[in-house]
Amino acid sequence: MDYSELFARARDEIGVPLKIVGVGGGNDAIHGRLDSGHWLVITDADDFLSDAAARCESEQDGYPLGWFVGVYENDSASYGVDYPASHAEGGCLAYAQDDDATIGDLPRVIREALGELSEHVRHCCGAGR
């Protein structure tokens, strides 16, 4: 499976278009924009995004790279440029991480992160924030 196939499947199952973006230092991540304006930022479970071929080869050798899916606020300090707020600035509202997830598990991990966002929103609203 390559990333274009995976992105098409994720769009069909979840309704969020995904794309690979450079995030600096020669590193990549996957970004998706939710209707709410929040961002999905997706990487390997413990590093930046690996090439799809390397990911599949690692899985065939019995070592899945897993997935990290964070749901981020839009960077309000970006002066009109849409981009996720940084993790260091508290931009991550919710996340899901599965260290053993395979390439095909990405839609499931995205759903888990979105479920965590729903819990976050309920908690903040319930606390009167």
Please state whether 49 falls in left (phi above 0), alpha (psi between -120 and 50) or beta. Answer: beta
**pLDDT value for 122:** 45
Say how many residues make up the chain: 129
CATH number at residue 46: 3.30.1460
DSSP result, 2-50:
-HHHHHHHHHHHH---EEEEEEETTEEEEEEE-TTS-EEEEE-SSSSPP
What are the pLDDT digits (tens) for 49-92? 999 999 999 999 999 999 999 999 877 665 556 777 776 666 78
Domain span including residue 64: 3-126
Position 121 pLDDT exceeds 60: no
- How many separate domains does the chain show? 1
CA distance readout (Å), 105 to 8, 23, 63:
14, 23, 14
What are the pLDDT digits (tens) for 93-120? 899 999 999 999 999 999 999 998 876 5
Q: How far apart are CA 101 and CA 105, in angstroms?
A: 6
**pLDDT value for 80:** 56
For the sheet containing 92-98, what is the strand order? 18-24, 27-33, 39-43, 67-72, 92-98
**pLDDT value for 127:** 45
Retrieve residue 121's tokens. Answer: 């929103």
What are the pLDDT digits (tens) for 3-52? 999 999 999 999 999 999 998 899 999 999 998 888 999 999 999 999 99
